[in-house]
């Protein structure tokens, strides 16, 4: 570390993030921006084609490591890395790069967003949900309800067409049966995407420029594009050389770990160290069995991301996850619960899902409250200075503030118009307005909190605490909806089930890239929305023939993502609807109590952070409690502890200089994991599927 310069690094939120609840008042002014070059926009849209093709080939036909997996998505990262490598080669040979630093960040942003929706995140579960009810509801209440409640413009109701989607081999796509429901669903997803993009635009300035969140998930590309500046400053060259050395050091571990792992998959006599280890069988006696499942998994990418995140956030994540396990043990010992944490149809003690839902709602309210002045000025800009002058002629300062916030007119219009269109669509398709508002209101509240968790803590593999319909029915009972609404609800909620590929948090991440690129917000987000829509349309055209040519269930065993999309998602929707049609689910006082307890606990943790400078626990960590058994939290726990411990020891004994060097090692862990993901896919193509998956 000797001679390591102290500049050249964007180091924010190294140890903690104490100020995140303090009111921040942006002035609304946009830093000087540059125009989006047409050639960059065309290349961004053109690059979506290979990304979508690769995702369908990989996640449908090959399996293993997902190319459209959790953030950062692998297909977009690999394509962008190839382009960046070509640019650096040109620079090394004395030629000017064709695309500058800002251009590369724009390309990555569009490709990331398109990659997120091209597979498990949106496209595949949507298609499976449209064909799922007729195929999976072969008997019982749901089978009887389908002919009377689900029309052909909302789903594929032809039994042969639905069967061929899941079991077909070499069957042609019946486009005449698919086009009507696809048009119907496009009328939902367009305002849904507009709302998600608009939410990212509204909160970008707060989180990126004024609160200066860490955004560890995009730290690697921000460092990687620095070399395109061509800065001849010797100090900067020294920084880059030392950073490259640290990155290469960090890459050694994931390359060896996964290198031996994939070699073992093809050649079993080659020894390997498994990075996925289920040790649940070691615990056999009650009440300790309530702690299951217990994994000791080593994800180099997650260790690196945790090292880049503030320590108070990552400490809180693993602390509350362990506390959650202790709660299950106590509940099992006292007889209050048998150790089950939910996942069924009704709320169950200790109501962890409901507690976490309350935490998410409280955190969303805190985030909105923290941004209240910013949002107020954005709303005033939407109304316009002329109207404000008429309404408040004695306050010319308000009208002037509205002018400085003029760039926020479109995101406010997108939020209001998009959410309204979603509710109208739900009403037109048989869901009451109040239920639609509650459902999508909770969904976007979760999206906001998950976006914050990714932006501040670098944790991206987290499921939502509870499905919105289960939460609402836990409070009201299922008798509030008609049989038609319950049957159609199985279609309208399942494609939003898996929040690991939620689009809104990814858009928030790209907001950091836009700010670094200094590209106009309007053109940037318009290009992103266009790219996402193009990815969905192209994905339908490519994936449907593959589903009918091979059968979704035939392909599913090779892919964890497709198993979720083609089996778990539509089958769960059918089973839930059938249970609700057969027996009305009563409201639960425990669910309401758990919801309130979660909200109050989160607000108390927030208050403690404001009043006690030494308070170490972050409310974002508590919000994860309900995902312990439902999501990847169990699988991530050990790696998060390792990353937190790695950083804590570094800051304690090596200080800022040590952190600067080991930050490069952490970037190497991330880079090495992504590199091995690309190599695995290349081997799958050349040698056949290995079955080895990094994530």
Residue with more model confidence, 5 or 268: 268
If 0-12 CB within 10 Å is exposed, 13-18 middle and 19+ buried, where does residue 49 land?
middle
Task: Give the mean model confidence (pLDDT) for residues 442-462.
Answer: 84
Q: Give me the pLDDT at residue 239, please.
A: 66
Residue 315 token pair: 């400490």
Of 133-137, 327-331, 534-538, 630-634, the range with the highest mean pLDDT is 534-538
pLDDT at 638 over 80: yes
Residue with more model confidence, 491 or 131: 131
Q: Give me the pLDDT at residue 14, please.
A: 45
- Tens-digit pLDDT profile for residues 346-404: 766 777 788 888 999 999 999 999 888 888 888 877 877 666 555 566 565 565 565 66
Number of neighbouring beta carbons within 10 Å of residue 11: 14
In which band, very low, low, confident or very high, does the pLDDT at 49 lie, cut at 50, 70 and 90? very high
Q: Give me the pLDDT at residue 23, please.
A: 45
Residue with more model confidence, 438 or 682: 438
| DSSP letters spanning 141-163 | HHHHHHHHH--TTTS---HHHHH
| Pairwise CA distance, residues 442 & 459, whole Å | 20
pLDDT at 343 over 60: no
> Which percentage of the chain shows pLDDT scores above 90?
28
Please say whether the beta carbons of 552 and 246 come within 8 A: no
Which residue pairs from 240-246 have beta carbons closer than 8 angstroms and sit at least 24 positions apart in sequence?
A: 240/8, 242/3, 242/4, 242/661, 242/664, 243/664, 243/667, 244/664, 245/664, 246/661, 246/662, 246/663, 246/664, 246/665, 246/667, 246/668
Which range, of 36-45, 335-344, 422-431, averages the lowest pLDDT? Answer: 335-344
pLDDT at 462 over 50: yes
| Pairwise CA distance, residues 501 & 460, whole Å | 9
In which band, very low, low, confident or very high, does the pLDDT at 181 lie, cut at 50, 70 and 90? very high
Q: Give me the pLDDT at residue 233, please.
A: 60
Please say whether the beta carbons of 623 and 356 come within 8 A: yes
In which band, very low, low, confident or very high, does the pLDDT at 495 lie, cut at 50, 70 and 90? low
Number of neighbouring beta carbons within 10 Å of residue 433: 11
Backbone angles phi, psi at 233, to 5 degrees: -55, 120
Q: How far is CA 527 from CA 31, 45, 80, 343, in A?
A: 20, 8, 17, 38
Q: Give me the pLDDT at residue 18, please.
A: 47
Task: Give the mean model confidence (pLDDT) for residues 160-180.
Answer: 93
What is the residue-averaged pLDDT of the chain? 82
pTM: predicted TM-score of the whole model, two decimal places: 0.85
Q: Give me the pLDDT at residue 12, please.
A: 39
Which range, of 2-16, 62-76, 83-97, 260-274, averages the lowest pLDDT? Answer: 2-16
Which range, of 165-174, 425-434, 546-555, 566-575, averages the lowest pLDDT? Answer: 566-575
| Pairwise CA distance, residues 32 & 23, whole Å | 25
Query: If we measure between CA atoms, which residue out of 598, 313, 629 comes closest to residue 446?
Result: 598
- Tens-digit pLDDT profile for residues 205-225: 889 888 888 888 888 888 888
Half-sphere exposure of 259 (CA within 13 A, CB side): 8
Please say whether the beta carbons of 345 and 50 come within 8 A: no
Residues in CB range of 655: below 8 A, 6 or more apart: none
pLDDT at 28 over 50: no
Residues in CB range of 156: below 8 A, 6 or more apart: 130, 131, 134, 162, 165, 177, 178, 181
| Pairwise CA distance, residues 530 & 511, whole Å | 16
């Amino acid at each position: 570390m000797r001679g390591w310069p102290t500049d050249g690094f964007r180091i924010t939120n190294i140890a903690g993030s104490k100020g995140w609840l303090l009111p921040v008042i942006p002035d609304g002014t946009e830093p000087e921006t540059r125009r989006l070059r047409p050639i960059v926009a065309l290349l961004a849209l053109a690059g979506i084609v290979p990304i979508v093709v690769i995702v369908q080939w990989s996640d449908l036909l090959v399996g293993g490591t997902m190319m459209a997996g959790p953030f950062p998505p692998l297909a977009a990262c690999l394509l962008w890395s190839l382009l960046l490598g070509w640019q650096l080669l040109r620079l090394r040979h004395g030629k000017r790069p064709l695309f500058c630093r800002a251009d590369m960040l724009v390309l990555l942003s569009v490709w990331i967003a398109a990659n997120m929706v091209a597979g498990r995140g949106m496209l595949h579960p949507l298609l499976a949900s449209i064909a799922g009810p007729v195929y999976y509801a072969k008997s019982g209440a749901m089978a009887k309800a389908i002919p009377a409640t689900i029309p052909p413009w909302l789903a594929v109701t032809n039994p042969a067409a639905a069967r061929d989607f899941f079991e077909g081999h070499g069957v042609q796509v019946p486009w005449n049966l698919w086009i009507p429901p696809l048009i119907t669903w496009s009328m939902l997803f367009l305002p849904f995407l507009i709302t998600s993009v608009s939410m990212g635009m509204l909160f970008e300035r707060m989180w990126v420029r004024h609160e200066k969140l860490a955004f560890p998930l995009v730290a690697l590309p921000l460092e990687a594009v620095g070399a395109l500046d061509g800065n001849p400053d010797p100090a900067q060259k020294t920084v880059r050389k030392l950073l490259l050395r640290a990155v290469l050091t960090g890459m050694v571990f994931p390359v060896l770990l996964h290198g031996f792992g994939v070699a073992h998959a093809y050649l079993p006599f080659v020894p390997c160290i498994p990075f996925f280890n289920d040790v649940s069988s070691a615990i056999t006696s009650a009440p300790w069995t309530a702690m299951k499942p217990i994994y000791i998994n080593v994800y180099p990418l997650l260790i690196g991301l945790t090292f880049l995140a503030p320590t108070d956030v990552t400490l809180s994540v693993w602390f509350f996850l362990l506390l959650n396990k202790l709660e299950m043990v106590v509940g099992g010992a006292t007889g209050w619960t048998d150790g089950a944490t939910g996942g069924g149809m009704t709320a169950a003690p200790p109501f962890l899902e409901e507690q976490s839902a309350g935490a998410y709602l409280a955190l969303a309210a805190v985030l909105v409250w923290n941004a209240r002045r910013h949002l107020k000025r954005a709303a005033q800009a939407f109304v316009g200075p002329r109207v404000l002058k008429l309404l408040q002629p004695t306050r010319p300062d308000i009208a002037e503030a509205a002018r400085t916030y003029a760039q926020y007119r479109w995101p406010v219009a997108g939020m209001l118009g998009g959410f309204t269109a979603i509710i109208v669509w739900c009403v037109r398709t048989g869901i009451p307005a109040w239920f639609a508002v509650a459902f999508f209101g909770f969904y976007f509240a979760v999206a906001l909190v998950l976006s914050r968790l990714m932006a501040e803590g670098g944790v991206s593999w987290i499921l939502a605490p509870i499905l919105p319909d289960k939460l609402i029915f836990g409070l009201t009972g299922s008798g509030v909806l008609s049989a038609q609404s319950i049957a159609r609800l199985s279609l309208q909620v399942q494609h939003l089930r898996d929040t690991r590929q939620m689009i809104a948090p990814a858009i928030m991440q790209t907001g950091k890239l836009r700010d670094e690129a200094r590209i106009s917000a309007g053109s940037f987000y318009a290009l992103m929305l266009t790219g996402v829509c193009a990815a969905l349309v192209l994905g339908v055209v490519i994936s449907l023939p593959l589903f009918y040519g091979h059968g979704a269930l035939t392909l599913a065993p090779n892919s964890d993502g497709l198993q979720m999309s083609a089996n778990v998602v539509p089958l769960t929707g059918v089973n839930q609807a059938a249970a609700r049609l057969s027996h009305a689910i009563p409201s639960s006082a425990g669910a309401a109590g758990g919801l309130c307890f979660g909200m109050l606990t989160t607000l108390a943790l927030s208050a403690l952070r404001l009043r006690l400078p030494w308070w170490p626990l972050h409310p974002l960590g508590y919000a994860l409690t309900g995902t312990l058994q439902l999501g990847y939290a169990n699988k991530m726990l050990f790696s998060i502890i390792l990353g937190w411990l790695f950083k804590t020891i570094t800051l304690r004994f090596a200080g800022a200089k040590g952190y600067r060097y080991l930050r490069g090692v952490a970037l190497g862990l991330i880079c090495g994991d992504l590199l091995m993901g690309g190599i695995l896919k290349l081997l799958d193509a050349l040698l056949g599927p290995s079955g080895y998956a990094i994530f």
